[in-house]
Structure 1
């Protein structure tokens, strides 16, 4: 497997999502076969890559996640420790780590496998309006259950408190502006006065009041899985699982949905967000979409880029 420390240009620093260890299909087959003999010789297919993990499908049933960067390791440990306790309380499927890979000579970090959850990323789904409303309602019900205060005691023990301050619009608004400026310099994004007004408001806003909930922590367009009819099937990539204001997850209500779909989501959620929480959620939606657009353009993911730019517009839509 390849250890990556700089990009191919040599004298420039590597992109922030560049892999320190890139596990290819042959590497994954060797690692899984060594530690799980019943899967030795099973077909291995690259399923997805992201900033922090490379994901392979093994034997058409098992999804194995291999960290790409050392910064992701605390999140991997949280997933292993928490998801099995969290899953029974939630109405959508979670990837529950049932096959835990140990560090070894072939690969220095832990990894894990879970049963495949059907469906595709919301970012890749071309849903009609009825399907989008259905997905939004399913997500709202899921978030209602996830943010139930009882889960803090039942499954939140040991989780960090918003370690990246994603619930604080005063922190995230300047970071969003920096990403958008980068996109604008490349001609990918044309500055939008509505986005600028939101970010200016966010820079002056305080974090939402109220107790923290168990949150996914990085709930964006790639992490909600949906079927072709719009039914939500699962929520993946829990490496940023933490305790934080619910605004952190409600950001997807603003980047992923608008109009009747957003109304359906908030109705199923059952708790009006209030102005402070809505501002924090919208600001984070802008930041996450800008970061996704930067990543998508830099890695040649045209559909993700289009979905991310659409998400930016949705984030400021009524």
Structure 2
């Protein structure tokens, strides 16, 4: 217990010093632990700021391991745990680390983490991501995290917390109202100059044939748990030809699952788009595919009505392909790990996604 309290005290004191250096006069009243992934830990300050800390070494402020209260140099500085991360942290598939929030998408599509202890490389990653968020915030019609300050050497990004709750955990009353803002958002994103953006993000040109092989592996893990009719739909998908690879890549969010859309549940409004760690020069059909997978064909169709990018029959074919592969991955992951919400959502959407 004493060791845990010492860790929490170290976390709060370090964050307070960091804020005093970059925001002189800012009073820290509370510190809430939002979550931790393989590469980053995130904290909410006073319910209004998010500080994301790269895990550079063992002394970084991510070393707390349990919720505590009354920690830190002030009695009102408290460290808590939150089951619904709302920041831009890279969350990996370990619910014990971040309250059950996971990423959609194939790990093979994600960037390799920067080795721990390589502070120069981590500083460059932080600088690039901060620059990316600034660029995106200038063109996005939806709120995105915008850095308030960056301490690259410390591996820190800080920004104001966006309003709203993750859509995957908080369904809205009128999903169709999400379509127009999503269409406008993707239109703005996909026309950003590739030459400008590829200085900030990698290229992600993953061959579709390889994606299908991985999806077949996921299906093998879950086939005996699916009803006969759904097995038939999936096996018909695998029997079909793989679509040709895309000819044109654009700047993409590249992980636009419902867990990265913040919403106002009462008004069915999109209040923000988070988690830009997988942003890449990629196939724009993949962004649309996750709208189709998570929100269904009606919202996807309405989104397309507001989408100004190129989207022909070939793009639609690839969109369906990506949506189906991504859904199988989610179901396999949920069933194999016991994280039921992902399996349950995927199983509930399987029929409509493969029909």
Picking from 3, 6, 15, the partner of 1:32 is 15
Q: Aligned pair 1:201/2:237, yes or no?
A: no
Taking a change above 3 Å as real, the CA distance of residues 284 and 66 of structure 1, as seen in their structure-2 partners, is farther
Partner residue of 1:162?
204
Q: Aligned pair 1:71/2:54, yes or no?
A: no
Distance across 2 between alignment mates of 1:116 and 1:238: 15
Counterpart secondary structure, 2:158: strand
How many residue pairs were aligned? 280
Counterpart secondary structure, 1:124: coil
Partner residue of 1:93?
143
Counterpart secondary structure, 2:240: helix
RMSD: 3.2
In structure 1, the gaps of 5 or more residues are 1-23, 105-109
Partner residue of 2:167?
122
Q: Deviations over 1:166-194 (max 9, x none)?
A: xx321212212222333446x48875322
Deviation (angstroms), 1:88: 1.0
Partner residue of 2:250?
213
Deviation (angstroms), 1:243: 0.8
Contact 2:126 2:152 in 1 (8 A): no
Picking from 127, 132, 135, the partner of 2:175 is 132
Q: Under a length normalisation based on structure 1, what TM-score does the superposition of the two structures give?
A: 0.74
Partner residue of 1:17?
none
Partner residue of 2:186?
143
Distance across 2 between alignment mates of 1:193 and 1:242: 34
Matches within 5 A, 1:1-318: 28-37=11-20, 38=23, 41-48=28-35, 53-67=40-54, 71-73=112-114, 78-102=128-152, 110-128=155-173, 131-148=174-191, 150-162=192-204, 165=206, 168-184=207-223, 187=225, 192-201=231-240, 204-209=242-247, 211-228=248-265, 229-271=267-309, 273-296=311-334, 301-317=339-355
Distance across 1 between alignment mates of 2:12 and 2:217: 40
Distance across 2 between alignment mates of 1:238 and 1:97: 13
Q: Deviations over 1:184-218 (max 9, x none)?
A: 46x4887532233334436x322122x32110122
Contact 1:173 1:200 in 2 (8 A): no
Contact 1:55 1:64 in 2 (8 A): yes
User: Please, which moves more after superposition, 265-274 or 247-256?
Assistant: 265-274
Distance across 2 between alignment mates of 1:48 and 1:312: 30
Distance across 2 between alignment mates of 1:50 and 1:188: 31
Counterpart secondary structure, 1:226: strand
Q: Deviations over 1:10-51 (max 9, x none)?
A: xxxxxxxxxxxxxx9766534422322256744122334567
Contact 1:45 1:56 in 2 (8 A): yes
Q: Under a length normalisation based on structure 2, what TM-score does the superposition of the two structures give?
A: 0.67
Contact 1:72 1:239 in 2 (8 A): no
In structure 2, the gaps of 5 or more residues are 1-6, 56-91, 93-110, 115-121
Contact 1:100 1:113 in 2 (8 A): yes
